Amino acid sequence: MKDLKTTNILLLIIVIPLVFYLLKILSFIFIPLVLSMFISLLFLPLMRWLKKKGIPRIISIIIVVAIIFGGLKLGGELVQLSSNEIVTAAKDGEFFKNAEQKILGLIVTIENFFGIERLQGENVFKHYFQENNSFEQFGNTIDFITNMLTMTLMTAFFVILLLSGSIDFQKILNGTLFKIKHSSTKTFMRIEKDIAKFVKVKFLISLATGIGFSLACMLFDVSFPIFWGLLAFVINFVQMIGSVISVVLLSLFAFVELDPSGTLLFFILTITAIQVLMGGILEPVFMGKTFSLNVITVLIMLMLWGYIWNIPGLIMSIPITVFIKIILEQYPKTKVIADLMAGSEVQLNFKRKTGLKK
């Protein structure tokens, strides 16, 4: 029995890296599949409600697809508005001249502080930012657009399959991880509830953050308010890191456009307060026990899924982690791992069991 246990552990050590390797190599399949699973979980309650009303499944699918395309259409309109802002500023040219002067002054200040020397008369931007081949940039852009289009079409295909019942996620759970139907049904309903709640709360918090950033830009007369609102909305889906990046980028941009006075300081404090209020206070309150993951688990999962699937991995890392945690909680042998992922709840349960007070 001891040799069998050792063999199983060794096989597990070999299989886990192999699984992650396959996930990375076949990312063009798994990214749309996992993303479509989360999207379908959001619309399954609507599908069940439409079914109770006697609406045929095909009509229900058409309604869901129309809602998704409506949201994409709205997002496209906002992107177009932000693009028009940037194009108008580019035609004016005055903003970019001021930006170049501010950035040049900042770089020279940093050079003087750290004692960095350049050749006399050498252009700062050519020294630090190497010129890239325009044809290479054009090729990278075409590849990016092609990959995005392919993944979008595959995601839409998988969403339709999941909503139509051609791929039954609950039956897959029942046939692989759980042998008892009641257990698989209960676990599936919890997965659906927790992940749907996470995505909905994250969407609303990110939307409120984006609106807050846009209003702050309008209030302090910072250019491209729609663009910065969209950026804050999108990048806020990356847990922890996204909020920091959005504040830092907008603060640097404000440094270029605003005078380094009290106005700049108040603007940075305003966007920081918006991010703290949304991400640090309201999000944990609305998430409740759904987001019972400690900081170490979040950071490890961000690095892991970011390495495997790049930006899509960063965005989907937390829902995937919530899914894994729920699965681990169903087995006595792996429940301790789920408790470790929760972190703070482990300490609370320990204090309750031992009768200790804070």
Tens digit of each residue's pLDDT (9 = 90 or more) over 51-83: 898 899 889 889 988 998 898 888 888 888 887
Does the structure show a pLDDT above 70 at 35? yes
In a domain, 358, yes or no: no
pLDDT of residue 19 exceeding 70, the answer is: yes
102-147: per-residue pLDDT in tens? 667 766 677 676 666 655 555 555 555 555 454 555 556 677 777 7
Give the range of the structural domain holding residue 110, as residue numbers without chain letter: 22-167
pLDDT in the model for residue 164: 79
Q: pTM of the predicted model, to two decimals? A: 0.77
Residue 315 falls inside a structural domain: no
Give the pLDDT score at 118. 58
Query: What kind and span of H or E run contains 167?
Result: none
Is the confidence at residue 268, as pLDDT, over 80? yes
> What is the rounded CA–CA span in Å between residue 287 and residue 189?
17
Task: Flag whether 39 is in a domain.
Answer: yes
**pLDDT value at 174 more than 80:** no
**Is 211 inside any structural domain?**
no
| Three-class DSSP labels, 204-245 | HHHHHHHHHHHHHHHHCCCCCHHHHHHHHHHHCCCCCHHHHH
Residue 215 lies in a domain: no
Which amino acid belongs to residue 351?
Answer: K
- For residue 8, being part of any structural domain is answered with no
Q: Is residue 205 in a domain? A: no
Q: Does any domain span residue 70?
A: yes
Kindly state the average pLDDT of the residues 86-99: 67
Whether the per-residue pLDDT at 355 is higher than 50: the answer is no
What does the pLDDT read at residue 284?
79
| Number of independent structural domains in the chain | 1
**Radius of gyration of the chain, Cα coordinates, nearest whole angstrom:** 25
Question: Which is more confidently placed, 227 or 291?
Answer: 227
**Which whole number is the average pLDDT over 235-259?**
85
Q: What pLDDT, on a 0 to 100 scale, did the predictor assign at position 136?
A: 53
pLDDT band at 192 (very low <50, low <70, confident <90, very high): confident
